[in-house]
Amino acid sequence: MPGWPVSAQTRLLVIAPHPDDETLGCGLLLQQVLAAGGDVRIILMTDGDNNPWPQRHLERRLIINDVARRRWGAKRRDEVMHALKQLGVPASALHPLGWHDMEVTRRLSDDLTGSIAAIRAVLEAFQPNLVCGPALRDSHPDHGAAHVLVRLALAGMDQAPALLAYLVHGAGDAPDCPLLIEAVAEQQPRKLQALAEHRTQMTLSGKRMRRLALSPERYMQVDTQVGDGRLPWRPPAVLHRWLRLLVATPAGVRDWPWLEAPLVRDADGSFRLEGAACRPVFVKLHLDWPSPWIFDHWGWREITTTLPLHGEEEIGPKLG
């Protein structure tokens, strides 16, 4: 895998959906690439501005309006700069996209072309040979959607860099991430100092974040997962009228009401997507009602298939 293990030739691009993911996910890897004489960049997708509970707690206010949210985002952008300094990463290595927290899925749906272009601009300028981003199955919706966007940005590139994924939410399952980085010398304390710079996050979640930061960093290698086009879920019929199926491919994104989605039912009861001309194919289920629970229940999965899917030629061009 080019860029791995790290050396002076490693050009690492880290994808962080929020301030603190760069440290939690890749705080050791960033230090090790720099120590080896390699180069790093970080794409910070959002400023983490939609983060109401820590903000209510620290600012002693109940109502969070747009002005307060912008102020919080600016504070978190500042925190990430301080964290990177602790990791030895120059400020010029940070590429903030300035998107809003909890909006990566909406960006994927509403502006796929612009979102991919923002990522491609950094890929083309920096030419990384190693990209490290959130895992597809991370249960935070911004993380799963960030993975899909990066995969779609890399799809079709002539010389695509190697891709590793890190898991922040659902880390109890991380043992199946086989690539492991252990801290060397002062790297662990520096990672903890970087984490401490994310003061807004340490107030309410410090214990969980410190526990994550004290573990070795684990990564999984990401390749296209070839399946048979079947969805990994069989949602109960009672929910079907409220369910929506989100399908993302390089050709575009469609958000189908479940009852109108181009699904066929196999004899064993599983559901298969009828057609998607461009691969990879990512799917996610969501409910069409508001919920205070932000984490994904039927989060993003890849159902890429090499089999010609029935109806592919009709459905493919409609995507997007």
User: Which residues of the shown chain bind Zn ion in the complex (CB under 5 A)?
Assistant: 17-18, 21
Shortest distance, position 98 Cβ to Zn ion, whole Å:
16
Supply the minimum distance, in Å, between the C-beta of residue 18 and Zn ion: 4
* Min separation Cβ 28 and Zn ion, Å: 17
CB of 168 to Zn ion, least distance (A): 6
Query: CB of 217 within 8 A of CB of 26?
Result: yes
Query: Minimum Å distance from CB 166 to Zn ion?
Result: 11
The nearer residue to Zn ion, 17 or 27, going by C-beta atoms, is 17
Strand partners, 265: 271
130 or 209, CB closer to Zn ion?
Answer: 209
* Residue closer to Zn ion, measured from CB, 148 or 315: 148
Residue showing the smallest CB distance to Zn ion in the complex: 18
Least distance (Å) between residue 134 CB and Zn ion: 7
Identify which of 261, 255, 275 has the alpha carbon closest to the alpha carbon of residue 320: 255
Identity of the residue, 18 or 272, whose beta carbon is nearer to Zn ion in the bound complex: 18
d(CA 107, CA 281): 17
**Residue whose token pair is 């707690």:** 57
First to last CA, the chain: 33
Judged by beta carbon, residue 101 or residue 302, the one nearer Zn ion is 101
Q: Supply φ then ψ for residue 186, to 5 degrees.
A: -90, 10
Nearer CB in complex with Zn ion: 11/140: 140
Neighbouring residues of 86: CB distance < 8 A, sequence distance ≥ 6: 190, 193, 194, 197
DSSP secondary structure of 17-50: SSTTHHHHHHHHHHHHHHHTT-EEEEEEEE----
Is the CB of residue 19 less than 8 Å from the CB of residue 80?
Answer: yes
In the bound state with Zn ion, the residue whose beta carbon lies nearer, of 18 and 198, is 18
Nearest Cα to 177, choosing from 218, 134, 136?
218
- Minimum separation from the CB atom of position 138 to Zn ion (A): 8
Q: Measure the CA–CA gap between 212 and 220, rounded to whole angstroms.
A: 16
